Chains A and B, each alone.
Chain A
Amino acid sequence: MMREISTKEIIKVVRNLCIDANYNLGDDVLYAFNQAVEKEDSGTGREVLRELVENARIAREEKVPLCQDCGLAVVFIEIGQDVHITGGDLREAINEGVRQGYTEGYLRKSACNPITRKNTGDNTPAILHLQIVPGNKMKIIFAPKGGGSENMSRVDMLTPAAGIEGIKDFVVKRVKDSGSNPCPPTIIGIGVGGTFERSAILAKKALLRSIGDRNPDPELAKIEEEILARINKLGIGPMGYGGDTTSLDVFLEIEPCHIASLPVAVNMQCHAARHKEAVI
Chain B
Amino acid sequence: MSKQIRLTTPLSTEDVENLNIGDKVLLNGVLLTGRDAAHKRLSELIEEGKGLPIDIKGQVIYYVGPTPAKPGKPIGSAGPTTSYRMDLYSPKLIELGLKGMIGKGNRSETVIEAMKRFKAVYLGATGGAGALIAKRIKKAEIVAYADLGPEAIRILEVEDFPVIVVNDTKGNDLYKEGIKRYAKE
Contact = CB atoms under 8 A, between A and B. Distances in A.
Given A234-B179, A237-B182, A241-B178, A51 B104 contact: no
B184 A233 contact: yes
B58 interface: no
Interface residue tally of chain A, by bracket?
Answer: 35 or more
A261 B174 CA distance: 40
A242 B127 contact: no
Contacts of B97: none
B79 interface: yes
B105 A58 contact: no
B126 interface: yes
Interface residues of B, number: 45
Interface in A196-252: 233-237, 239-244
Main SS class of interface, A = loop
A179 interface: yes
A52 interface: yes
A108 B66 contact: yes
Contact of B104 (A106, A107, A183): A183
A179 B132 CA distance: 23
B77 to A, nearest CB: 4
A69 B81 contact: yes
Contacts of B70: 64, 106
B182 A42 contact: yes
B150 A108 contact: yes
Interface of A: 41-42, 44, 48, 51-52, 54-56, 58-59, 62, 64-70, 106-110, 117, 119, 147-148, 151, 179-181, 183, 233-237, 239-244, 270-272
Given A233-B184, A242-B182, 5 more contacts: A52-B129, A65-B130, A108-B68, A183-B104, A242-B178
5 contacts: A67-B131, A106-B67, A148-B105, A151-B82, A181-B105
